[in-house]
Structure 1
Amino acid sequence: MSHTLIQPDDTLTLWGIITIWAAASIYLEQRYSWASKVSGAVVALVGAIFLSNFKIIPTESAVYDAVWDIIVPVAIPLLLFHVNIRKLWQEGGKLLLIFLISSIGTVAGTIVSFSLLKDYIPFLDKISAMMSASYIGGSVNFLAMASKFSAPGEMVSAAVVADNLMMAVYIVILMAIPTFAFFRKRYNTPHIDRLEIGAGNKEKTQAEGFWKRKEISLKDISLAIGTAFLLVVVSFKAADFFASVIPSGGHVSFVFHILHGLFGDHYLMLTTLTFVTLAAFPNYFEKIHGSQEFGTFLIYIFFVVIGVPASISLIIKNAPLLLLFVFIIVLINMIISLVVGKLLKVDLEEILLASNANIGGPTTAAAMAIAKGWRDLVGPIIVVGTLGYIIGNYVGTIIGFWFGGMM
């Protein structure tokens, strides 16, 4: 049994806590200026860290798995229903460039961190392969490299704990950066500027001004939720089919590996199918009201769940040096992303999302764009960030073999 107030199998209570805190975070964001500045997403995430580290809720439960498996996939199409397809391609080019630059930051950070700590952390060559692949792609790449290099189970577990805490802290930092005058003065922030202008009423918080009350009907609710589920089911089944028929693994050619990554990935297939459907039936989606609100609330639930596994006690007990290892990688990624992005005159919002997509994956990057109200960047960052799943394994493999010769 879990040594927490709420047990992992108490699903009703856990669902209640997650949704209630997500709702409270939105309320605080729209009611108080301090919460609006840091964003409700950060409030949700930090609150979850508090709940799990004070042993109120468990760090693992089927409820959290359901959020990843159901809530997040349904939220993505809901939040893409408003996307202007033509604008998507215009916005995607710069995002791709800064994402690749941010990926170089991950590689540079891994090299520096490995060089500093290789004499103090066992199996750091294997961990470097896992983390570099993960900090360009995602957890799929992490697990692939752990399997490929036969990393010891206890080191994999410790790396997961360090990664969870680092990711939670880094998302808070990325959320906070746009609130500092230092960055606002030195970078272009067109999406933030439009949001502040659109908020209008000076007596309201920025969040409340953005999320104004809208007309919505029962038909809107049913079509939004029903269409989102339809897209998720069809795209996931299609991705599973292609993954089963397209060869993969170390013995297949580069072309087949790319095709498997493109057509066999759930989220890339979901995003692609959603865009195709949007282009084919624009009038249908224009008439649906409330999809943005539904999707955003689901994403706030996701932010609560992100904070849950960030166990500070486990880090202190099992993985303090690993936390330092991933901290160095993330720090160098952020510095290279911000410095090169500034030199190339990339918007601050795009730089932050690209770095987020590297470290946390396209899902957390899209969630950040939604929470911040950067609507035009939601679709592009999902597409660009998903490409990290494809290149992450190549980077991790190269680093694993390279560093293995130094241990």
Structure 2
Amino acid sequence: MDSVLTLFLLLTIPVLLKVFEKTKLVSTLSPIAIAYALGILLSFSPLNFNLDHIRYTSEISITLSICLFVLASNLSKFKVLLKPVLKSFVLGIISLIGAILLTFYLIDFEGLEKNKILGMLVGVYVGGTPNLNAIGYALGVTNETLVIVNTAEMLLGGAYFFLLITLVKPILSLFLPKFKSANLITNSCYDTYTTTSYRDKITMIILALLASILILILSYGLVQFLFGATNVPALLISLTTLSVLLSPISIIKRIEYKFEVADFLLLVFSLGIGMQININSLITNGLAIYILVSCVFFGTLLIHFFLAWITKTDVDTLLISSTAALYGPAFIAPVAKSINNRELIIYGIALGLLGYILGNYLGLGFYWILNELIKP
């Protein structure tokens, strides 16, 4: 009975969040934040959950999710990347690396999984939340650390996003040149769906799941063949690489709703992680992690602004490329609207999708680099 209840909640709550995600309450608070919060509340309930089922479901969900996010990132879209926008995005990654290294050398907390957290932050600030969670899972961070890092990133990101759509452009315009219109492409970078019937939509969702499961099986087999055992970081790299290689195949491209299924699986993962937390660890390590995330977040912004000033990057290009890195493709349109620049929307979305692919490689890569730096 415990297993049935556990699986029922893990699937039903994310379904409800997807159904109501466009309502004012859910969209304002963020479905992922609500999933974490509900998971934490359930962890305090007197109900007996099957923790093994929660852990396995969470692990499978995040793995399939990152696979589908990459499959949904059609590589043909990246040909639209304009040189100034791509240059600013690269400057953003350089800024992140600088902030990571400064934080690594200047800030230290005893008993904190600092290198793992910094690797996760590289993933999220190049890609997005799926990368953060996938890297955290691959590196074996505690559930409490995962929840706190996600919460800190959401709170800081939410606060800055409000400033981004209100005050940041007027302030930066005092120091940076204005955007010069070049009649760029303004059509949407998102896929348009042709499936309309309920039955066909269900079929597409099943096909998306089957495609991701097949890639997971192939990745697992490859890792077993190469290492003779399950190596989770290697599995994540293998999964990402196979997804990138298979995404242009016509049969994969014809499968619709890959992004939506990936988003649903991310909610399942978020709920499951919340249900597994230990409140004592949450309180003990909370402040240190908030400080670490804050240093990386604001350090990245300040360095990026400084590099933009040196390279004379225009303010609109800076804000769109920064949004693509820090927030992902979903936030490009609101920012473009707030700065009154539709021309850069497709370029920002393409960068955000590219970030999903790069995030895993860079996040895991920097974790290994930081580990090498602390060796005597």
Q: What is the TM-score of this pair, normalised by structure 1? A: 0.63
1:48 paired with 2:39, answer yes
- State the alpha-carbon separation in 2 of the partners of residues 212 and 305 from structure 1: 33
- State the alpha-carbon separation in 2 of the partners of residues 278 and 78 from structure 1: 9
Q: 1:106 to 1:367 in 2, by over 3 A?
A: farther
Report SS of the residue matched to 1:301: helix
Deviation at 1:67, TM superposition (A): 2.8
Q: Among 105, 109, 116, which residue is 1:111 paired with?
A: 105
Report SS of the residue matched to 1:265: helix
The residue number in structure 2 matching 1:76 is 66
Report SS of the residue matched to 2:158: helix
Q: 1:212 to 1:227 in 2, by over 3 A?
A: closer
The residue number in structure 2 matching 1:29 is 21
- State the alpha-carbon separation in 2 of the partners of residues 139 and 297 from structure 1: 19
- State the alpha-carbon separation in 2 of the partners of residues 59 and 354 from structure 1: 37
- State the alpha-carbon separation in 1 of the partners of residues 99 and 369 from structure 2: 16
Identity over the aligned pairs, expressed in percent? 16
Q: 1:61 to 1:88 in 2, by over 3 A?
A: farther
Q: Among 6, 28, 39, which residue is 1:14 paired with?
A: 6
Q: Deviations for 1:33-83, whole angstroms, at most 9, x for unmatched residues?
A: 13212322222222222222x345679822232234322222333334442
The residue number in structure 2 matching 1:86 is 76
Q: Deviations for 1:142-174, whole angstroms, at most 9, x for unmatched residues?
A: 56xxxxxxxxxxxxxxx8466234213124325
Q: Which residues in structure 2 correspond to 1:5-404 (within 5 Å)?
A: 10-31=2-23, 33-52=24-43, 54-56=44-46, 61-88=51-78, 90=81, 95=89, 97-114=91-108, 121=110, 128=114, 131-132=117-118, 135-136=121-122, 138-139=135-136, 160=142, 163-173=145-155, 176-177=158-159, 179-186=161-168, 214-215=196-197, 217=200, 219-244=203-228, 265-279=234-248, 281-282=249-250, 284-316=251-283, 319=284, 322-343=285-306, 344=308, 351=322, 354=325, 376=350, 377-399=352-374, 401=376
Q: Is the 8 A contact 2:68 2:262 kept in 1?
A: yes
Gaps of 5+ in 2: 124-134, 173-186, 336-347
Q: 1:393 to 1:57 in 2, by over 3 A?
A: farther
Gaps of 5+ in 1: 1-8, 144-158, 189-196, 199-209, 246-259, 357-364, 402-407
Q: Deviations for 1:339-372, whole angstroms, at most 9, x for unmatched residues?
A: 223343665576467568xxxxxxxx89999xx9
- State the alpha-carbon separation in 1 of the partners of residues 323 and 20 from structure 2: 24
Deviation at 1:332, TM superposition (A): 0.5
- What's the RMSD between the two structures over aligned residues? 4.2
Q: 1:236 to 1:185 in 2, by over 3 A?
A: farther
Q: 1:128 to 1:229 in 2, by over 3 A?
A: closer
Q: Is the 8 A contact 2:71 2:246 kept in 1?
A: no
Q: Is the 8 A contact 2:59 2:269 kept in 1?
A: no
Q: 1:375 to 1:396 in 2, by over 3 A?
A: same
Q: What is the TM-score of this pair, normalised by structure 2? A: 0.67
Q: 1:170 to 1:296 in 2, by over 3 A?
A: same
Report SS of the residue matched to 2:73: coil
> How many pairs does the alignment contain?
317
- State the alpha-carbon separation in 2 of the partners of residues 86 and 49 from structure 1: 40
Q: 1:295 to 1:63 in 2, by over 3 A?
A: same
- State the alpha-carbon separation in 2 of the partners of residues 328 and 307 from structure 1: 21
